Amino acid sequence: MIAIVDYGVGNLFSLRSSLKYIGQDAEITGDAEKIGSSDRIILPGVGAFGDAAEKLRQSGLDTVVCDEAKRGKPLLGICLGMQLLFDASDEYGEHAGLGLIKGKVVSMEPVVPKGYKVPHIGWNGLAFPKDKPVSPLFKYVREGDHVYFVHSYYASECHDAVIATAEYGAMLTAAVADKNVCGTQFHPEKSGGVGLNILRAFCEI
């Protein structure tokens, strides 16, 4: 069973529907025992980093997610859920993340050219780093395949973990992985067949 972590933030039902479409048993839950007994965990999220991090901590699920990830259970963060995997974010002040992946979440405004709208909303092609093998998360997709983004902040200072980037006036982090912990800045559940194939690959990790 895949546990979709419910801590009051995230597009949960479309994600569950996407997983069920590819034949996966998924449950939306805020129950620590169910998350602990799951085979995989997905941490979704939309909105501001600080608010989401506080809700996750208030629920006590931050400890659960970290403990399970450190035991080796596959964990996928999506959009803000990916950002929460990092050490910190400077969105509306400095906020601590889960610290599962080294790096910091920062505004894209200083790096994208003037005239580019922020937030970045739309479809962009994936580019894979040339200095490392293609991640197992992308075993069923090709470089250049398009996925759907909605974000104003991006992960930086995380070169070793980057498994995909996307060009939006600058090359921005699109996906990261460190052993069993991975994340996508884009929404697989909103990315059509490409997104379904990414979720399918995660379910095989």
Phi, psi of 152 (to 5 degrees): -115, -15
d(C-alpha 159, C-alpha 92), whole Å: 24
Q: Which residue has the tokens 């990414």?
A: 198
d(C-alpha 199, C-alpha 186), whole Å: 12
Is 187 labeled as catalytic in the residue annotation?
yes
Is 33 labeled as catalytic in the residue annotation?
no
Q: Which of 95, 120, 151, 187 is catalytic?
A: 187
d(C-alpha 166, C-alpha 53), whole Å: 25
Q: Which of 120, 158, 189, 203 is catalytic?
A: 189
Q: Which of 68, 79, 120, 151 is catalytic?
A: 79
Q: Who contacts 55 (Cβ-Cβ below 8 Å, separation ≥6)?
A: 7, 8, 9
Between the two ends of the chain, the Cα-to-Cα distance in Å is 14
Is 158 labeled as catalytic in the residue annotation?
no
Active site residues: 79, 187, 189
